[in-house]
């Protein structure tokens, strides 16, 4: 995700030279002797020997929180709903990949972690699956990646953890699924249902759509094969599987197929289809989308609470400017009502004290008629947008640090924060862990990108699903470690820069230095809505034209401004905004209150009003910035292409 490329054109020859040089560099790297740290067989053998030395279970109480990770599993202890079981995962620091095999137990009441070390534990892994039943947790599959990400191993081992004794046992049974990761498992009565996943042979990637069932009473695997002519989901990984009564639902996922385009050998496919599986007949049926479903995305997480499934996060690749792709990491929350198969956005209820405070501040600058309780005609539900983007976090710090150093801008920032209370909310991410215990949703870890850096998270958030009033940050994210490219790669890049930039002068090197400084600042780049205005005021007007255009698009995408049903238009009053979007807000409010008539319209207006107050200053500032941008573009293109900064490509 987040890959940035340039189309063939005037720079075609330059692109071909760079491609040839990259191929040569890769060939040199591949021809090097395999280092000990990248020999997977040797690594796993060493881990196995260390495991053999363990004789007893050892539990360390009140230990530091786990290291940042994604693609781990977080499971509610079936014996104690206030305890979460965290296992495995991976972390990439820009240079090496670390795969974990540690087991943590977290008490959500005491806010304490326990680290469990047991003999005969599974080897480290990520992208595996875990299911809890009675006093056991069952784990299947996953993968182990070498530090340089050049080699990896897929597992097909099946493990059982006794939560009473903390003892692991490997279940060597016939008929188990083939090695894989990215699959999904769910518990249905006394059976474990497993579907899909992928297996990478280095030469090709296989995406599975096979279905396996493990009987927990008989301890037997069974593969369920489709009947002739039966409907069946296509192969995929990274989808979500969840159970309600006698239906098993499958949603989304990701796969690759051979591309017809000669320039690319594979094409990624983000699936947005939904299926239901009848566990009595093992027949699949497509589920028609109704309500307001989320837009297509990859890397989202889901879990079930009572009669609804909850979807959080994911990533969408957006084309910003013809040849530039930007990855938008989402932090929105959707509900899927399981008894009527309807999607809807989960907007948090606003506390009365906060709403009154916002109204009081708004009265200083808004005519009184805009705050009156509206009675408006309802709009057509077909006009409601199906793509709702993140509304709280901007993953960019290019101008934030610059603006913090100026007294006038910090003053503007404090004024805005005093008028708009800070809202706690997890940032957009992919491959996070979600779990529900005692009507509380927990979200842990995952990964996001800032520029060309992959930021792995270790924060923990909770949301009371009965109140739906506010997110609580139980563990804040720590500062992420990021290691720049190796010296060999830097030398190669410097040679390319010298050959390509001979005529660019000293100005380009200054800009490249700025890029490096920004990369170092990136890990601290989480920006709340209230800070966005000072970011725009402080640095947006000083950017080069192309960078300013990208900045505007980033802010629009990160705040969900492209969704007209949730975003005020420039100069639009609160009254007109609600009149135009009332159907969206009433449907969102109905999921909270079940009110109808006048009460429902009032509830919907409260949600719309909070969104309006939240975004109004940003909309106004962006309108000014875009007007300046258009005025400059009308004067003509930049005088020289030499001013363009260097963009690194990443696979």
User: Which CATH number does the domain housing residue 461 bear?
Assistant: 2.120.10.80
pLDDT of residue 572: 86
What would the mean pLDDT of 629-645 be, rounded to a whole number? 54
What would the mean pLDDT of 261-283 be, rounded to a whole number? 87
390: confidence class by pLDDT, cuts 50, 70, 90: very low
In sequence order, the β-bridge partners of residue 242 are 249
Last residue of a domain, one of 436, 456, 475: 475
Instruction: Give which of 2, 1, 139, 74 is closest to 432, Cα–Cα.
Output: 74
pLDDT of residue 102: 96
Contacts of 3 (CB under 8 A, 6+ apart): 325, 649, 650, 651
Provide the whole-model pTM.
0.69
Q: What angle do CA 329, 334, 337 make, to 5 degrees?
A: 155
Spatial separation of the C-alpha atoms in residues 570 and 96, rounded to whole Å: 46
Instruction: Give which of 416, 423, 471 is closest to 616, Cα–Cα.
Output: 416
* Dihedral sign from CA coordinates of 166, 171, 176, 179: positive
- Residues 170, 65 share a domain: yes
Q: Does residue 21 sit within a domain?
A: no
- Residues 465, 331 share a domain: yes
pLDDT of residue 637: 52
Spatial separation of the C-alpha atoms in residues 414 and 411, rounded to whole Å: 5
Spatial separation of the C-alpha atoms in residues 158 and 138, rounded to whole Å: 7
Give the domain extent around 575.
528-633
Asked if 101 and 122 count as a contact pair (C-beta separation under 8 A), the reply is yes
Residue 237, both tokens: 């990984």
Q: Does residue 238 sit within a domain?
A: yes
- Residues 564, 443 share a domain: no
- Residues 287, 144 share a domain: yes
436: confidence class by pLDDT, cuts 50, 70, 90: very high
In sequence order, the β-bridge partners of residue 503 are none
- Residues 564, 466 share a domain: no
- Residues 199, 104 share a domain: yes
- Residues 214, 137 share a domain: yes
**What is the number of residues in the chain?**
651
Q: Does residue 506 sit within a domain?
A: no
Does the pLDDT of residue 515 top 90, yes or no? no
- Residues 252, 179 share a domain: yes
554: confidence class by pLDDT, cuts 50, 70, 90: low
Please state, as a whole number, how many other Cβ atoms lie within 10 Å of the Cβ of residue 463.
23
Beta strands in 175-281 (DSSP E): 184-188, 191-200, 205-215, 220-224, 240-244, 247-258, 266-278
* Dihedral sign from CA coordinates of 472, 346, 527, 572: negative
Q: Does residue 564 sit within a domain?
A: yes
The lowest-confidence range among 126-130, 385-389, 429-433 is 385-389
Q: Strands 342-345 and 184-188: what pairing?
A: unpaired
Does the pLDDT of residue 413 top 70, yes or no? no
Q: Does residue 13 sit within a domain?
A: no
Instruction: Give which of 401, 313, 445, 393 is closest to 1, Cα–Cα.
Output: 313
Q: What angle do CA 438, 443, 446 make, to 5 degrees?
A: 160
- Residues 125, 263 share a domain: yes
- Residues 294, 433 share a domain: yes
Q: Does residue 69 sit within a domain?
A: yes
Q: Does residue 597 sit within a domain?
A: yes
Q: Look at residue 488 and give its three-state secondary structure.
A: helix
Q: Does residue 143 sit within a domain?
A: yes
User: What does the buried/exposed string (b/e) look like for 467-504 if buried means 16 or more CB atoms within 10 Å of the residue's CB?
Assistant: ebebbeebbebeebebeeeeeeeeebbeebeeeeeeeb
Q: What is the pLDDT of residues 560-618, one digit of tens each?
A: 665 666 788 878 888 888 888 888 787 777 765 667 778 888 878 888 887 788 777 77
- Residues 572, 451 share a domain: no
Q: Of residues 354 and 30, which shows the higher confidence score?
A: 30
Residue 166, both tokens: 């903390």
pLDDT of residue 609: 84
Number of domains in the chain: 2
- Residue 137's H or E segment, with its range, is strand 136-140
Residue 499, both tokens: 């050959």
Spatial separation of the C-alpha atoms in residues 487 and 506, rounded to whole Å: 23
What would the mean pLDDT of 371-388 be, rounded to a whole number? 35
- Residues 458, 589 share a domain: no
């Amino acid at each position: 995700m987040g890959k940035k490329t340039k189309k063939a054109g005037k720079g075609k020859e330059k692109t071909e030279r760079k491609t040839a040089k990259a191929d040569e560099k890769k060939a040199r790297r591949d021809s090097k002797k395999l280092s000990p740290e990248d020999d997977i067989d040797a690594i796993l053998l060493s881990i196995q020997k260390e495991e053999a030395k363990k004789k007893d279970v050892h539990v360390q109480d009140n230990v530091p929180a786990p290291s940042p990770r994604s693609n781990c599993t977080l499971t509610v202890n079936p014996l104690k709903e206030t305890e979460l079981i965290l296992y495995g995962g991976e972390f990439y620091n820009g240079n090496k990949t670390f795969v974990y095999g540690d087991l943590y137990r977290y008490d959500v009441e005491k806010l304490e972690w326990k680290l469990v070390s047991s003999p005969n534990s599974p080897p480290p892994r990520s992208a595996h699956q875990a299911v809890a039943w009675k006093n056991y947790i069952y784990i299947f599959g996953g993968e182990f990646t070498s530090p340089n990400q050049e080699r990896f191993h897929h597992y097909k081992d099946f493990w059982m953890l006794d939560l009473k004794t903390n003892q692991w046992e490997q279940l060597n049974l016939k008929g188990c699924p083939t090695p894989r990761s990215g699959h999904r498992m769910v518990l249905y009565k006394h059976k474990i249902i497993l579907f899909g996943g992928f297996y990478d042979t280095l030469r090709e990637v296989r995406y599975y759509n096979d279905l396996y069932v493990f009987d927990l009473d008989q301890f037997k695997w069974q593969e369920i094969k489709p009947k002739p002519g039966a409907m069946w989901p296509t192969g995929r990984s990274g989808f979500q599987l969840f159970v309600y009564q006698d239906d098993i639902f499958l949603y989304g996922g990701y796969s690759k197929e051979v591309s017809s385009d000669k320039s690319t050998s594979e094409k990624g496919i983000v699936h947005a289809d939904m299926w239901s599986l009848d566990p009595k007949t093992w027949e699949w049926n497509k589920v028609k989308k109704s309500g307001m479903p989320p837009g297509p995305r990859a890397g989202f997480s889901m879990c079930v609470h009572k009669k609804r499934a909850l979807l959080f996060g994911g990533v969408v690749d957006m084309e910003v400017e013809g040849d530039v792709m930007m990855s938008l990491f989402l932090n929105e929350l959707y509900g899927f009502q399981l008894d009527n198969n309807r999607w809807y956005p989960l907007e948090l209820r606003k506390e009365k004290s906060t709403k009154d405070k916002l109204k009081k501040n708004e009265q200083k600058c808004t005519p009184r008629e805009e705050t009156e309780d509206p009675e408006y005609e309802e709009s057509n539900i077909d006009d409601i947008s199906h793509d709702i983007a993140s509304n709280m976090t901007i993953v960019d710090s290019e101008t934030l640090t610059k603006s913090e150093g100026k007294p006038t801008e910090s003053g503007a920032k404090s004024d805005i924060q005093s008028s708009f209370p800070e809202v706690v909310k997890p940032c957009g991410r992919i491959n996070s862990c979600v779990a529900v215990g005692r009507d509380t949703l927990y979200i842990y870890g995952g990964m996001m990108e800032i520029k060309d850096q992959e930021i792995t998270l270790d924060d923990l958030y909770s949301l009371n699903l009965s109140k739906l009033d506010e997110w609580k940050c139980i563990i804040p994210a720590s500062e992420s470690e990021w290691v720049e490219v190796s010296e060999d790669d830097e030398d190669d890049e410097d040679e390319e820069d010298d050959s390509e930039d001979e005529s660019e002068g000293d100005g380009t090197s200054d800009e490249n230095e700025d890029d490096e400084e920004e990369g170092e600042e990136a890990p601290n780049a989480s920006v709340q809505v209230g800070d966005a205005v000072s970011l725009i005021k402080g640095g947006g007007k000083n950017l080069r034209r192309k960078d300013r255009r990208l900045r505007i698009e980033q802010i629009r995408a990160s705040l969900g401004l492209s969704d007209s049903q949730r975003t005020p238009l420039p100069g639009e009053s609160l009254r007109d905004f609600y009149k135009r979007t009332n159907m969206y807000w009433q449907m969102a409010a109905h999921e909270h209150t079940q009110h109808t008539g006048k009460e429902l319209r009032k509830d919907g207006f409260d949600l719309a009003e909070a969104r309006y107050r939240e975004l109004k200053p940003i909309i106004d500032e962006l309108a000014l910035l875009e007007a300046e941008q258009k005025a400059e573009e009308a004067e003509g293109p930049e005088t020289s292409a030499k001013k363009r900064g260097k963009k690194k490509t990443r696979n």
